[in-house]
Protein backbone atom coordinates (compact mmCIF):
# COMPACT_ATOMS: atom_id res chain seq x y z
CA UNK A 1 0.00 0.00 0.00
CA UNK A 2 1.22 3.49 -0.86
CA UNK A 3 1.53 5.75 2.18
CA UNK A 4 1.25 9.53 1.91
CA UNK A 5 1.47 12.22 4.56
CA UNK A 6 -0.70 15.30 4.12
CA UNK A 7 0.16 18.64 5.67
CA UNK A 8 -2.78 21.03 5.29
CA UNK A 9 -2.23 24.77 5.45
CA UNK A 10 -2.94 28.18 4.04
CA UNK A 11 0.80 28.51 3.30
CA UNK A 12 0.53 32.30 3.29
CA UNK A 13 3.43 32.01 2.53
CA UNK A 14 5.16 28.63 2.60
CA UNK A 15 8.36 28.73 4.66
CA UNK A 16 11.31 26.48 5.44
CA UNK A 17 9.53 25.14 8.53
CA UNK A 18 6.91 23.52 6.30
CA UNK A 19 9.65 21.90 4.21
CA UNK A 20 11.47 20.82 7.37
CA UNK A 21 8.36 19.07 8.72
CA UNK A 22 7.82 17.21 5.43
CA UNK A 23 11.49 16.19 5.30
CA UNK A 24 11.44 15.10 8.96
CA UNK A 25 8.81 12.45 8.21
CA UNK A 26 10.37 11.48 4.87
CA UNK A 27 13.79 10.93 6.48
CA UNK A 28 12.14 8.50 8.89
CA UNK A 29 10.91 6.56 5.82
CA UNK A 30 7.32 6.87 7.00
CA UNK A 31 5.91 7.94 3.62
CA UNK A 32 6.35 7.50 -0.09
CA UNK A 33 5.41 11.16 -0.46
CA UNK A 34 4.31 14.19 1.55
CA UNK A 35 1.60 16.41 0.10
CA UNK A 36 1.35 20.08 1.05
CA UNK A 37 -2.40 20.65 0.72
CA UNK A 38 -3.15 24.32 0.10
CA UNK A 39 -6.45 25.23 1.77
CA UNK A 40 -8.76 27.93 0.37
CA UNK A 41 -9.81 29.17 3.83
CA UNK A 42 -9.35 28.32 7.48
CA UNK A 43 -12.57 28.49 9.54
CA UNK A 44 -10.54 29.11 12.72
CA UNK A 45 -8.67 32.15 11.41
CA UNK A 46 -10.48 35.47 11.71
CA UNK A 47 -8.42 37.20 9.03
CA UNK A 48 -8.57 36.35 5.36
CA UNK A 49 -5.47 35.13 3.58
CA UNK A 50 -3.30 37.95 2.25
CA UNK A 51 -2.58 36.18 -1.05
CA UNK A 52 -5.14 34.54 -3.33
CA UNK A 53 -5.40 30.76 -3.48
CA UNK A 54 -3.63 30.67 -6.86
CA UNK A 55 -0.75 32.82 -5.56
CA UNK A 56 -0.33 30.64 -2.46
CA UNK A 57 -0.45 27.47 -4.54
CA UNK A 58 2.17 28.92 -6.90
CA UNK A 59 4.41 29.71 -3.90
CA UNK A 60 4.08 26.13 -2.60
CA UNK A 61 4.94 24.77 -6.06
CA UNK A 62 8.03 27.01 -6.11
CA UNK A 63 8.94 26.02 -2.55
CA UNK A 64 8.86 22.26 -3.17
CA UNK A 65 10.59 22.32 -6.53
CA UNK A 66 13.63 20.07 -6.30
CA UNK A 67 12.12 17.87 -3.57
CA UNK A 68 11.14 14.68 -5.37
CA UNK A 69 8.97 13.36 -2.54
CA UNK A 70 7.19 16.58 -1.57
CA UNK A 71 4.47 18.01 -3.78
CA UNK A 72 1.89 20.76 -3.77
CA UNK A 73 -1.81 20.01 -4.13
CA UNK A 74 -4.67 22.30 -5.09
CA UNK A 75 -7.40 19.64 -4.77
CA UNK A 76 -9.25 21.52 -2.02
CA UNK A 77 -9.94 24.45 -4.32
CA UNK A 78 -11.91 22.21 -6.69
CA UNK A 79 -14.06 20.55 -4.01
CA UNK A 80 -17.58 21.87 -3.20
CA UNK A 81 -17.65 24.75 -0.70
CA UNK A 82 -17.64 25.03 2.20
CA UNK A 83 -14.94 22.41 2.33
CA UNK A 84 -13.49 20.93 5.49
CA UNK A 85 -10.52 18.65 6.12
CA UNK A 86 -12.86 15.68 6.67
CA UNK A 87 -14.31 16.19 3.16
CA UNK A 88 -10.88 16.31 1.54
CA UNK A 89 -9.69 13.19 3.33
CA UNK A 90 -12.89 11.34 2.42
CA UNK A 91 -12.50 12.41 -1.23
CA UNK A 92 -8.91 11.14 -1.30
CA UNK A 93 -9.83 7.82 0.36
CA UNK A 94 -12.53 7.18 -2.24
CA UNK A 95 -10.42 8.34 -5.18
CA UNK A 96 -7.33 6.31 -4.19
CA UNK A 97 -8.41 3.26 -2.14
CA UNK A 98 -4.92 1.72 -2.41
CA UNK A 99 -3.32 4.68 -0.64
CA UNK A 100 -3.12 5.30 3.10
CA UNK A 101 -3.30 9.01 3.92
CA UNK A 102 -1.79 10.13 7.21
CA UNK A 103 -2.78 13.56 8.50
CA UNK A 104 0.26 15.60 9.61
CA UNK A 105 -0.36 18.44 12.03
CA UNK A 106 1.40 20.72 14.45
CA UNK A 107 0.62 20.20 18.13
CA UNK A 108 -0.84 23.72 18.28
CA UNK A 109 -3.80 22.55 16.14
CA UNK A 110 -4.76 19.77 18.55
CA UNK A 111 -6.04 22.34 21.04
CA UNK A 112 -9.05 23.08 18.81
CA UNK A 113 -9.21 19.73 17.03
CA UNK A 114 -12.32 18.59 18.90
CA UNK A 115 -14.12 21.63 17.38
CA UNK A 116 -13.31 20.53 13.81
CA UNK A 117 -16.13 19.26 11.64
CA UNK A 118 -16.35 15.45 11.93
CA UNK A 119 -13.09 15.22 13.86
CA UNK A 120 -14.05 11.75 15.14
CA UNK A 121 -14.38 10.57 11.53
CA UNK A 122 -10.90 11.94 10.80
CA UNK A 123 -9.38 10.15 13.80
CA UNK A 124 -11.18 6.88 13.09
CA UNK A 125 -10.17 6.78 9.41
CA UNK A 126 -6.66 8.23 9.53
CA UNK A 127 -3.54 8.12 11.59
CA UNK A 128 -2.51 11.55 12.78
CA UNK A 129 1.17 12.30 13.21
CA UNK A 130 1.77 15.30 15.44
CA UNK A 131 4.84 17.50 15.14
CA UNK A 132 5.72 19.70 18.17
CA UNK A 133 4.86 23.39 17.83
CA UNK A 134 4.43 24.66 21.38
CA UNK A 135 3.60 23.56 24.91
CA UNK A 136 -0.17 24.08 24.82
CA UNK A 137 -2.26 21.62 26.76
CA UNK A 138 -3.58 18.82 24.57
CA UNK A 139 -6.98 17.30 25.46
CA UNK A 140 -6.35 13.97 27.22
CA UNK A 141 -8.79 12.05 25.00
CA UNK A 142 -6.60 12.99 22.03
CA UNK A 143 -3.32 12.27 23.82
CA UNK A 144 -4.38 8.70 24.43
CA UNK A 145 -6.05 7.90 21.09
CA UNK A 146 -4.38 4.98 19.30
CA UNK A 147 -4.45 6.74 15.90
CA UNK A 148 -2.60 9.83 17.16
CA UNK A 149 1.16 9.57 17.38
CA UNK A 150 3.37 12.30 18.83
CA UNK A 151 6.89 12.85 17.52
CA UNK A 152 9.79 14.40 19.38
CA UNK A 153 11.56 16.89 17.17
CA UNK A 154 12.92 20.39 17.44
CA UNK A 155 10.26 23.09 17.63
CA UNK A 156 10.26 25.25 14.53
CA UNK A 157 10.35 28.95 15.36
CA UNK A 158 9.19 30.15 11.93
CA UNK A 159 5.59 31.02 11.07
CA UNK A 160 3.88 32.57 8.07
CA UNK A 161 2.82 35.47 10.31
CA UNK A 162 6.47 36.18 11.19
CA UNK A 163 7.37 36.09 7.49
CA UNK A 164 4.57 38.53 6.56
CA UNK A 165 5.52 40.88 9.42
CA UNK A 166 9.18 40.89 8.38
CA UNK A 167 8.26 41.72 4.79
CA UNK A 168 5.86 44.45 5.92
CA UNK A 169 8.67 45.95 8.04
CA UNK A 170 11.20 45.62 5.21
CA UNK A 171 13.26 42.97 7.04
CA UNK A 172 14.98 40.25 5.01
CA UNK A 173 13.42 36.79 5.04
CA UNK A 174 16.40 35.11 3.40
CA UNK A 175 16.96 31.70 4.95
CA UNK A 176 13.40 31.55 6.28
CA UNK A 177 11.75 30.66 2.97
CA UNK A 178 12.96 28.72 -0.06
CA UNK A 179 15.05 30.90 -2.43
CA UNK A 180 12.47 30.75 -5.24
CA UNK A 181 9.75 31.85 -2.81
CA UNK A 182 11.91 34.73 -1.55
CA UNK A 183 12.54 35.88 -5.13
CA UNK A 184 8.83 35.64 -6.02
CA UNK A 185 7.76 37.61 -2.93
CA UNK A 186 10.31 40.37 -3.61
CA UNK A 187 9.44 40.58 -7.30
CA UNK A 188 5.69 40.73 -6.65
CA UNK A 189 5.95 42.98 -3.55
CA UNK A 190 3.76 40.54 -1.64
CA UNK A 191 2.71 41.46 1.92
CA UNK A 192 4.24 44.94 1.73
CA UNK A 193 0.99 46.76 2.51
* Domains of the chain by start residue, with CATH: 2-188 (3.40.50.620)
Residue 155 pLDDT greater than 90, yes or no: no
Do 64 and 58 contact (CB within 8 A), yes or no? no
pLDDT of residue 167: 93
Return d(Cα 39, Cα 41) in angstroms, integer. 6
Ranges 48-57, 77-86, 87-96: which has the least confidence: 48-57
Return d(Cα 131, Cα 6) in angstroms, integer. 13
The whole-model pTM stands at: 0.93
**Residue 109 pLDDT grade (very low, low, confident, very high; cuts 50, 70, 90):** confident
* Mean pLDDT for all residues in the chain: 91
Report the Cα–Cα distance between both ends of the chain, in Å, rounded. Answer: 47
Residue 82 pLDDT greater than 90, yes or no: no
Tens-digit pLDDT profile for residues 116-146: 999 999 999 999 999 987 766 676 777 778 9
- Mean pLDDT, range 48-73, rounded to an integer: 94
Q: Is 107 helix (H, G, I), strand (E, B) or coil?
A: helix
Do 105 and 142 contact (CB within 8 A), yes or no? no
pLDDT of residue 90: 96
Tens-digit pLDDT profile for residues 37-55: 999 987 666 667 788 999 9
pLDDT of residue 61: 98
Residue 176 pLDDT greater than 80, yes or no: yes
- Mean pLDDT, range 45-71, rounded to an integer: 91
Amino acid sequence: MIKKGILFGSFDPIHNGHIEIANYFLKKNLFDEVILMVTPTNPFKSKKNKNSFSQRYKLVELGVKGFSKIRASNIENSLPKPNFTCHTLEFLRKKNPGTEYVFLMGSDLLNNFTKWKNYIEIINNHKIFVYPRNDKIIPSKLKLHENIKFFKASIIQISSTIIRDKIKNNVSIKGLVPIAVNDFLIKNKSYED
